[in-house]
Structure 1
C-alpha cells in the first residue's frame, strides 16, 4: 500500500493498549501505523509522519534496559504525544525527573484541566473530566521549557506541553485511548486535527481505491489464486482482488467435510453467482474423513487437515497456468505481532487455511488487508458489496468442526454436531445477539450420559454450548445469554438432534481457558 499523506506513527513500548491507540486515531479517519520503538530515527522520518504518538509500556524509564528513542526525535518539528510511559520517557530524555510514585494510580481519576485550549479544546465543560490512570511512576520535575496543563490529586503533572519553534510536544499521564476515558477520543482528534494538521481522509472507499491500484500495478497480466475459506478475511481479500483484476483471479474452495451447515452453498452463491468470480470448489470429504479415522489428539487432527489442505490446493493450482501470486487475508494485528517490541514471533501465526503455502509453492504474496483491523475489514466488505451473511460471520477455526468434536471424527458425530451448531446459530440470531457475541457454537463431548425419554432409559451424547464476548479474541469472557435463550437451545437440541440427551453451558473465560475446546 502506498504511503498515506496524513499519517500518524505510533511507537510501541510494549503497552497492552498500543493497538487501541492506532484504532482510535483511525476512527477519526486519519491513518495510523504502529512501529516498534526500536526502529532508527531515519526509518521514522522516512515515513514522513504528520505526528508521532509514544505509547505506554510496563517499564520504568530509570531502569538500565528501559526502551527508549533517539533524543533527536524531539528536534524534528514533528508534533509528539507521549502517553504514560511515553510522557515519562520525554521527561527523562529532556532533562526532567521521573521517580516511583508514593501512591500508585490505577483506574478512574478526576482530571482538573489547567489549560482548556489546544489538546483539551472542548473537553471538560466544568474544568474537569474523567480519565483512566495506570502507572506507578510520576513526574517529579518537568524538563526545561515544559509547563503543566492538567493535574489530579495524585499527579500534580498529569499533562504537560512544550510549544516552540522546533518542538511541539504534548504529554499525558493517563490513557485517552481506552473507553474508561470518556472524552479521550475528542482529545486524540484535537491532536491529529488541530496540532498535527491532518485531514479525515482515511475511509474504506479511499482505501479500496488505493488497494485496487496497488494490486493492478503489482500483478500486471499475471494470474492470481486465492484460497477461499468463506470467512470474512479471505472473502474480503478475494472480493477486493477481483475488483482490481477480474478474471485474472481464481479462487479455490476446499470442502473438507468439516464445514458448518450450508457453508459451501453460501460461498458458491455469493462468489460464483453474485460476484461472478472464477470459483473452483473441490469436494475432498472422503480423503479428509478417511485420514481422520480414529484420530483423537487435536494436534494430530490439525496437522492432518493442514497437510491435506495444502495437497488439495497444490494439485488444483498446478492445473492453472501463469500463476505467480497468492492472495492471503493477513490482517494488521498479524503484522504487528511479527514486529512487536515485546518480541517478534518466529512467524506470523497462521489464521488462514493457506498457512505454509508460500514457501512450498514459491508464489509472491498479495495481502491487501495487511493494514486493517478486523472491524475495518467488515466495513471494507460492506463497501465492496458483500452480503451481511459473509461480513458478520463469526470466526471459524481452520480445522473446522474436527476440533469441536472431542474424540474421533465420524459422519455420525459430524451430523450430530452440525444439527446442534445450526440450532445455536439460529437462536443467537433470533435473540438479536449475533453481533454482540464474538463466537457461539456447539461442542460434541466424548462421553455419553443416562437420560429418560418417553419413559425409557437413554444413553446418549452430551453437547456443550460455548459463547464468548471479546474485542479481538485474545481475551474473552463467557457470554451472559438470557436463561430463556439457553433453555430454548437446550430443548431444541435434545428434541431435534437425534442422539443427544444432555446439554451443558461453558462458563469459563479466556484465560485460563481457550475459546475453542481443542
Structure 2
C-alpha cells in the first residue's frame, strides 16, 4: 500500500503548492477539505494543516476535527493551521498591529527540534498573515523566531505536533523544502519511494484489475494528458483500448495529420475522424464565446458517440483528468465560479452509459510529463504547449468562417515554428495568435489597405491558474511580424499581448 501525507485544506491559495513540494520529495500526498477527509489507516504517515483566507478569530472560521490526529500522528500546522492549534488548545491569537507580509529572517532556531535540522539561523522565510500568536498554551514551546514574530514556530511537548507561522512551500522561504523534508521523512518516517517508475508500475497493475477484459474508448487531443493516459492504458490492456481523434476544423495547421502520424509510432489503435465541415457548419453565424464553446462541446459528444458505438462491447470511457481538476471539484469553498465552460467535455459518460476511468487523476501537470518521460513518450508530445479544447474558435474573436480559420492557421504556424526555430518554444508555457474583429489602415506598395489585426500571445506558467507574459526578444517579434504581414494575405498589423493572468485570461475568449 502506498504511504501518504494528508493535507487538510482551509482554502489557502498555496495549498496545491504544499502538495507539489511534498511530491518533489518523492512522497505521495493528497489534499482534502478540512471537514471531509478519509479514514486514517496505516498508510497515512502524517497530516499538514494548510493556511486559510480566514482568521481564527472569525465566527465562521473553519474548525477541523483533529481528535483522531493530534497526538496520534505527526502534525504540521502552516500559518492558519499553526494559529488554529495555538488558539484551540489554550493560547491567544490577536490581530497584529501591522499585517505581516513578505520576507523575514529567522533570528532564533532550536536545532534540537527535528523540524529544523540543518536549517540555518538568518535563513529567509515568507510571512503572509494578519494575525499573530501572542501567547502559547503551557505545553507548547517556541522553536523559531524572527525579529518581528516571536512565535514563528513551535512544537508541543511530548508530541510530534508542530506549527509554523510562515509558508515553507513558497520559493521565497529559501530552506522551505528542507523543512518539509524534515517533517515528512525525519518526523513522519516516509520512505521517499513515490517515483514516476513506481507510479507507472502501480497504475498499470491497478488498471489491469479494474478493467479486466473490458474494452475502453479514449478521446485523444494530441496533448500531454490524453497521450500519457493512452499509453498507461495501452500498457495495461493493449488492443482493448481504442483511441478516437476528432478533427473539428479548428486545429493548428497540419495538426490532424501530424498527430495521427505520431500516434502510429507509439503503437496505439487510433481512429481519425474528419468532422471539419460539421463543426464549422454548426458554428456558422455564431459570435458569442460561450455559445461557441457549447456548440463545440455538443458536436464533439455527438461525433464521439457515433464513432464509439461502432466499437462492439465498449464499457469504459477513459479521460485525461488531472489532479487540479479533482481538487477544484471538491474544494473547501465548492467549485469556483464559472469563468468559462471547461474544455474537458462533460456529459459523455451519461450519454453513452459508460463507466469512467481516469489514470492521471492523482497527478499534477509536471508529474504527468515525468510519467510520460518514464514511458519513453516522444519529447515532442510531452513538450507540447497546452491547446484549448475549442481550438482556434476562441482565438477568432466573433463569427467563425473557413476563411478566418485558414488565415489564423497560417499566422499561428509562422509564430509557433518561429519559436521553435529560434529555440524559444521550450521557454514558453503556451503561445498562440488571436484574430481580432477589427481592421486597420495600412500601406502596401502604393496602395492603402484596410485589413485584419492579429495579436500574438506567449505566457509562462506552471499550471495555467496564473500566468505572466513572456519577454520575447524585440528582434524576434520584429521578424515574426514582418513574416506574417508579408506571407499572410489579409493581415496588415501585428500586436503583442503584454497582459498577465490575472487580470487577463490566457485566451481572449
Query: Which band: TM-score by shorter chain?
Result: over 0.9
In structure 2, the partner of 1:130 is 124
Match of residue 456, structure 1, among 417, 441, 447: 447
SS at match of 1:82: strand
1:153 equivalent in alignment to 2:151: no
Any idea what the Cα deviations from partners look like across 1:34-68, whole Å, max 9, x if unmatched? 0110126xx34147410110001111112222111
In structure 1, the partner of 2:32 is 35
Q: TM-score, normalised by structure 1?
A: 0.95
In structure 2, the partner of 1:20 is 17
Query: How far did 1:449 drift?
Result: 1.8
How many residue pairs get aligned? The number is 508
SS at match of 1:128: coil
Q: How many angstroms apart in 2 are the aligned matches of 1:348 and 1:69?
A: 30
SS at match of 2:40: helix
Match of residue 495, structure 2, among 491, 494, 504: 504
Query: How far did 1:485 drift?
Result: 1.4
Structure 1: gaps (5+ residues): none
Q: How many angstroms apart in 2 are the aligned matches of 1:384 and 1:473?
A: 25
Q: How many angstroms apart in 2 are the aligned matches of 1:47 and 1:371?
A: 20
Q: How many angstroms apart in 2 are the aligned matches of 1:293 and 1:348?
A: 24
Q: How many angstroms apart in 2 are the aligned matches of 1:74 and 1:369?
A: 29
In structure 1, the partner of 2:505 is 514
In structure 2, the partner of 1:360 is 351
Any idea what the Cα deviations from partners look like across 1:250-285, whole Å, max 9, x if unmatched? 00011111101221122212222x122111001111
Any idea what the Cα deviations from partners look like across 1:81-127, whole Å, max 9, x if unmatched? 11000001111122211111123210000112331242111121xx2
Q: How many angstroms apart in 1 are the aligned matches of 2:70 and 2:247?
A: 58
Name the Cα RMSD after superposition.
1.8
Match of residue 79, structure 1, among 71, 74, 79: 74
1:435 equivalent in alignment to 2:426: yes
Query: How far did 1:509 drift?
Result: 2.1
Superposition pairs of residues 249-260 of structure 1, within 5 angstroms: 249-260=241-252
Superposition pairs of residues 182-331 of structure 1, within 5 angstroms: 182-272=174-264, 274-331=265-322
Q: How many angstroms apart in 1 are the aligned matches of 2:454 and 2:165?
A: 49
Q: How many angstroms apart in 2 are the aligned matches of 1:284 and 1:214?
A: 35
SS at match of 2:334: coil
Query: How far did 1:75 drift?
Result: 4.0
CA contact (8 A) 2:35 2:65 kept: no
Q: How many angstroms apart in 2 are the aligned matches of 1:310 and 1:418?
A: 24
CA contact (8 A) 2:79 2:129 kept: yes
Match of residue 178, structure 1, among 170, 184, 189: 170
Q: How many angstroms apart in 1 are the aligned matches of 2:349 and 2:34?
A: 30
Match of residue 108, structure 1, among 103, 110, 121: 103
Query: How far did 1:163 drift?
Result: 4.1
Query: How far did 1:443 drift?
Result: 0.7
Any idea what the Cα deviations from partners look like across 1:203-259, whole Å, max 9, x if unmatched? 011001111011111111110000011111111111111111000000001111110
Query: How far did 1:400 drift?
Result: 0.8
